[in-house]
Every structure is written in structure tokens, then in C-alpha cells.
Amino acid sequence: MPSPKKKPIDQKSADLKPDTENPEGQFMTTNTGTRINDDQNSLKAGERGSTLLEDFILREKITHFDHERIPERIVHARGSAAHGFFELYKPLGKYSKARFLNDTKIKTPVFVRFSTVAGSRGSTDLARDVRGFAVKFYTQEGNFDLVGNNMPVFFIQDAMKFPDLIHAVKPEPHNEMPQAASAHDTFWDFISLMPESAHMIMWAMSDRAIPRSLRMMEGFGVHTFRLINEKGESCFVKFHWKPLLGMHSVAWDEAQNISGKDPDFHRRDLWEAIESGNFPEWEFGVQIIPEKDEHKYEFDLLDPTKLVPEELVPVQRIGKLTLNRNPDNFFAETEQVAFHVGSIVPGIDFTNDPLLQGRLFSYTDTQLIRLGGPNFHEIPINRPVVPVHNNQRDGHMRQTINEGQTSYHPNSLGGGCPFQAKMKEGGFTSHAERIDAKKIRERSKSFLDHFSQATLFFNSQSAPEQDHIVNALSFELSNVNVPAIRERMLGILSKIDKGLAQKVSANIGVAVPKKTGQLNFSVPADADPKSYDSVIAKSSLEKSPALSMVNTVKNSIKTRKIALLVADGVSASSVMAIKKAVEAAGARTELIAPKLGAIKTDGKQDLQADKRLANAASVLYDAVYVPGGKKSIDALCAEADAVHFLNEACKHCKAIGADTDAEALLELGYFAGLIGKDPGIVVGRKNNVKTFIEAAGQHRFWEREKPRKVPA
């Protein structure tokens, strides 16, 4: 084997990525740089003798292997991430002095991690769950971590309850089941005793909990934060991420099937989109609330179970986030990235939200055990782009070699360095909020309305979305074995919407309780805790259109995957017409055939199948089209998998298209009666392709669920 040639160092690349390693053309070495002569055999005492303790190469290799797994995150363990940048549309100087929110010429580097909450690292992407949406901004003033979710509210109001929530939703401790699922007794036992979770449960049981893609979901900062301007003036802010592809979901039955077919569905989708140059984009939005309006609304801005309706405070879109580079190494970047809600920069500050306050402690504490010690900030993915100077020293896995005699302040031997920065020099100063109160363990009365926004959310959903919430609650509670828990939950649902409670009741075989009774939850001493009704309020808004996904972007098939069902004898012109039109619209096609290899067409050129029917599934595609060609259609009609593929696509309300002579295959399906009546089923030659693409751009035809004629 020829010796590798030493490649010259590309200084430009080295400067951009100084911590990366590429083995191409290099000798193998130990971790201290000694070249290795033999990586196949350990050092032994003779040919068949015992291995020697002095084999430092073996010991280093085995020791590192023994330690190459670190404790997974307690929550948000399963994640996917990407690099990108943030660009500002307009300066926000009136509200914040943060430099990255004021300079439109700066491209701020970011690293974004998406995740599920409840499951382990090895769980499925398609669990019904909240999705984490964490953004690390590498700003010129230090790192700012916006550690959010794809839902704007949370289950609990106080961080004291977070361990209880997670213990309840995790697999039950006596049998370690179920994985990445909330459909079990301990979760609903907890939720049924915590009416403050009512609003979040509506979100978690909605289609928001099963997104089509990580690229097609919103993101929220959840909490109310503060912005501080140069004058030291404060205002409140809610942070939003709005996907430019719109918000789209999958059907629950579809999600379960995807989990079996491709549990990496979201991870693969994000990776492939970036690799193909279809960079995911979100616009950054803010809801600005003047400090004088803190108590203006019928909800408390500090309550993390409440949102600020966009009809009351519009979202101003001030910039754009673009993800354009996949990680080079999953462990080094996606797994070792350490987000912290306490990583802020001058111009951004906290509020007294009791859940946020607990998170400020929890994140640092978690990273200490997960990443092995206090120097996790020195891991390359966590390092800021600005220099770090302080008197913190030593500790496990310290990487910085600190020069100088002093490591304390004040000092004279080191010239007083590093210096403290005054506010006008960019030094961070906390907002001077007046505090004058007694130490108590109570909730504010303003936190006691648990149902009005849950009702607002449910009322704001379209009819199909409301049906999905009913079905989700019915599915979850049907997996609860204790009738008393189901009954308590129906009591809570009746306070959100009586019709909702009755529909779920009919599905789970438990009557809605006539008296909801007293819940075990914290109220002030002077409040009346006799019933749920003591804390019920009504929202002045009947509906909030922004809360429904039916109003999202639906005019594009960009980045979607379209399945083309083909067999020998397929019409080459029919295939090329649909492929050309779909790809021109920004989507991609895959040819699904009875077998892999060459597909003979009615022309001179063969096609190549991308997948075979036995390995493919409609749940992995956004729409399906059947090109013409009598021989091809005859062959597909004899394939039960082809008929099932179409039946399942119809059941999940997707667009289905077919050339005129392909109608025979569609007529074998259980949905044959919908041909010509359903706008999502397009058959014929005239404007066929154009109409099909327009239909696929609608994402789903949820009204098709009502007849339920497709038992695929």
C-alpha cells in the first residue's frame, strides 16, 4: 500500500474550522500524536501469550471506547441539528441594545437543535410530543441561546413541578414502558390532577404534536422575556419562529406507520433538504409589550401556560434564520451542544416567570453531569466567537492554557486584568426591577385561570383539527387502565368544551362526571378551592385564526416528495411530463416499481426504479401519481402492494393523480367512489399535471376523513 502524501494545510479552511479533523491522506496516530504501526494486533507475550499491560495503544483505544457514550439528556434526548445564520431585516434599537438585533449588515452564525421531549435517543421521530426548537446565536457580544419549543405554552407554571411532569411522562418505573409515549396511566394521572396543564394538553393533542417536517413547524421562546434599550428602558417580548414553508402535519395513523418504516424520518428529511440545497428558513418574530401594559390583559404575562394572542399583539417579523450546513460529526456537535436559557447578551433580560427562573438553575446543573464537568463551554460547538477572559481555572477536561500569574480579582500583579466592563463598554447589567415582597410558597391569583385559553385554542381549530384532538384524547385515554383517571380527565375537558368532553366520553366508555369536585392544586389562602369553577374565566376572544394550521402557507410543493407508481410498459412521455413539472415546482420524485432495476418504457430509453413496492410506503411521500401506459397499469393492477399504496395515501388525505389510462388502477381502490368528487384526486389528461401539483400544494384534504371509506 503506498504511503499517504502529506497534504498542505489550507490556512483559510483551518481558520474557519480549526477544530475539525479529516483523516484523508494522513497517518494514524494516538491521541498524543504518535504514529501507529499496527492497529490490528495487541502487544502480547509471544504469539499465543497474554496481552501486555504496557500496550499503551490498546489501553488508549479501549479506554476511549469505554467512555465514548455520555449520559443522554434527561429530556430532549433525541435531536437533530444544523448550522446556519441569522440576518436582521430592520434594527430594533428602540427596544433593545443587543448588537445582533441592530446591525442589518451582520450575518450572525447559529446552531439549531430540534428534538422530541419524552423519548430516549433511540426513539422514533414521529412520537406525539412537543418538539424542542433551540437556537444558539454566536453573537459579537457572546452567545445568546433561545431555548424554545414548537408550542408557545407549557404544562406547568412553576419549575418545582418539572421533575414530577417528566417522571410522569417517562416510561413507568416498574416496567420501563412505554417508550416516547404519553398514552399511559402515570402521565394522565398527573395531568388529571394538574388543571394548569389544560391549555398545553390541547396543543399536545393537536396536529402540532406530529409535524410533517422539522422544517414545517413554528418555534416559540415560551416565556415572556425583557428587551432593554440604550436608555435602560424595558419592554416585554415574546419570541417566535415562523416557517416559510408553512406549518404542516401528518395524520396520527400515518405517524405510527412512519415510526415503523423510518423512525429517522424527521432527521433524514432535515439532512437531505440541506444537502440538496433546499435550505430551511424561518422568519424571526417578536411581540412587543410596553412595560406599562404588563397588567393590561386578562392573563398574566409571567404565566408560561398562557400565550399572547396575535390578534391582541401582532408579531413583527424582524429577521430570517437560514440553515445551510449539516454537522460534520453528530456526537461532537449535535450531542455535545449545551444550550442554556441563561446565556443572554446585553439588551435581553429575564422576567420573573417561575418556570423560567427554575430553568436558569437547571441547565447549568444538567450540563455539569452530562458533559463531565464545568468546562463544557470549551467544547468547540459551545464556544463563543468572541474571546473569553475571566479568572475561572482548572476543572475536569480544561482545554484553555491560561497564561499569567494571577487568577483573582482585584489584583495588581496582573495589572488589574481582566477589567470589568462598564455598561457603556458593553458590560451586562440586569434590569433594575423593584422588588418588595415577602417570601412565600404560593401562586399568584392571576395564574388561576386554567381553561379560558384552552377553550380559545379548541374553538380556533378547524373542524378536522377539532376531530383530530378528539381522536388523540380518545386514543391516549383508551390506553389508561384506571377508570378514575379517565373520569377526572373528562371533568377537565368539560371545563374546556362540553361537546369535546362528550365526544371523548363516548369513545372511552366513561361518563362525564356531573360534579367535577375539588382538585389538588395550589391556590392562595383566600381563594375558594371548592370546584374548578372557582378559577374559570372566559377569554374576550372567541377565536384566534393564528392558532389554526388551516391558515398556513399552501401554495407550494417545494421540497416535497412525490411517489410515481410505475411498471414495465409505462408511458415515457407521461413519466417525463410529471417529473419535469414536479421538479420545476421545487419538489422531487421517486419511481416506485414492483422490482428494482431497469423499467422498460413504451419508448427507446429505460428508466431506473428508485424503490420497490415491497420496501416503499405511501406514508413516506407527500402525494402519489400514476403515469399512463396500459402494460404498466395492467402490471400494477396485479400488485396488491400498489393498490394498498394508493388506498393508504387516500386514507391519509393526500393528493392522488393519474393519467387517463391509469384510472383502472384507481378504480381497484376502496376510494373509487371519490373519483371526480374529491378535489384531491385528479384523473385525466387535460391540465392533469398542473391540477395535480396545485392539489399537492394544499398538503392534505382532511375533509376526506369524514366518509371514512378507505379502510387501508
Residue 521: per-residue pLDDT: 46
Q: CB-hemisphere CA count at 13 Å for 293? A: 12
Backbone torsions φ then ψ of 108, nearest 5 degrees: -80, 120
* One-letter-per-residue 3-state SS of 327-339: CCCHHHHHHCCCC
Q: What is the mean pLDDT of each run of 10 residues along the chain (712 residues)?
A: 46 54 85 86 85 87 82 95 98 97 97 97 97 97 96 95 94 96 97 96 98 98 97 97 98 97 98 97 98 95 97 98 98 96 94 92 89 92 92 90 90 89 88 83 90 97 97 98 96 96 97 71 45 58 95 94 97 95 96 96 92 95 96 96 96 95 91 90 86 96 78 54
Decide if 182 contacts 169 (C-beta within 8 A). yes
Query: Which one-letter DSSP state was computed for residue 151?
Result: S
What distance in Å separates the CA atoms of residue 593 and residue 655, rounded to the nearest whole number? 19
Range list of H helices, 117-174:
162-169
How is residue 592 written as a grid cell? 416506485
CA–CA distance from 469 to each of 130, 465, 670 (Å)? 15, 6, 26
Query: Which one-letter DSSP state was computed for residue 374?
Result: T
**Nearest one of 184, 85, 79 to 134, comparing CA atoms:** 79
Residue 343: per-residue pLDDT: 94
Cis status of the peptide bond prior to 171, with omega within 30 of 0: no
Q: Is 699 left (phi over 0), alpha (psi -120 to 50) or beta?
A: left
Q: Which residues contact 208 (CB under 8 A, 6 or more apart)?
A: 150, 151, 217, 218, 247, 249, 549
User: Which residue shows C-alpha cell 504511503?
Assistant: 3
Q: Which residues contact 710 (CB under 8 A, 6 or more apart)?
A: 647, 648, 650, 651, 669, 670, 671, 704
Helix axes 185-192, 483-496, angle to 10 degrees: 50
Tens digits of residue pLDDT in 448-468: 999 999 999 999 999 999 999
Decide if 640 contacts 675 (C-beta within 8 A). no
**Nearest one of 373, 364, 363, 420 to 394, comparing CA atoms:** 373
Which one of 102, 143, 149, 471 is the catalytic residue?
149
What distance in Å separates the CA atoms of residue 266 and residue 641, rounded to the nearest whole number? 25
Burial 140-176 (b: 16+ CB within 10 A, else e): ebbbbbbbbbbbbbbbbbbbebbeebeebbbbeeeee
Q: Report the run of H or E that residue 625 belongs to, with start and end.
A: strand 623-626
Which one of 76, 199, 340, 652 is the catalytic residue?
76
Polymer length in residues for the chain: 712
Q: Which residues contact 303 (CB under 8 A, 6 or more apart)?
A: 157, 353, 446, 447
Residue 146, strand partner residues:
135
* One-letter-per-residue 3-state SS of 407-462: CCCCCCCCCCCCCCCCHHHCCCCCCCCCCCCCCCCCCCHHHCCCCHHHHHHHHHCC
What distance in Å separates the CA atoms of residue 638 and residue 635, rounded to the nearest whole number? 5
Walk me through the domains of the chain, giving residue ranges and CATH numbers.
Answer: 1-68 (4.10.91.20), 79-171+209-382 (2.40.180.10), 462-538 (1.20.1370.20), 554-705 (3.40.50.880)
Neighbours of 478 (CB within 10 A): 14
Annotation says 149 is catalytic:
yes
- The sheet with strand 623-626 has its strands ordered as 611-612, 588-593, 561-565, 623-626, 655-658, 681-683
Q: Which residues contact 291 (CB under 8 A, 6 or more apart)?
A: 233, 234, 235, 236
**Nearest one of 447, 430, 453, 443 to 351, comparing CA atoms:** 430
C-alpha 165, offset from chain centre: 19
Residue 709: per-residue pLDDT: 56
Three-state DSSP state, 324? strand
Residue 268: per-residue pLDDT: 98
Tens digits of residue pLDDT in 482-504: 999 999 999 999 999 999 999 99
The dihedral through the CA atoms of 466, 467, 472, 475 has a sign that is positive
Decide if 351 contacts 294 (C-beta within 8 A). no
Three-state DSSP state, 8? coil
- Give Rg (Cα) of the chain: 29
Helix axes 252-261, 463-478, angle to 10 degrees: 60
Residue 52: per-residue pLDDT: 86
How is residue 428 written as a grid cell? 451586562
Residue 682, strand partner residues:
657
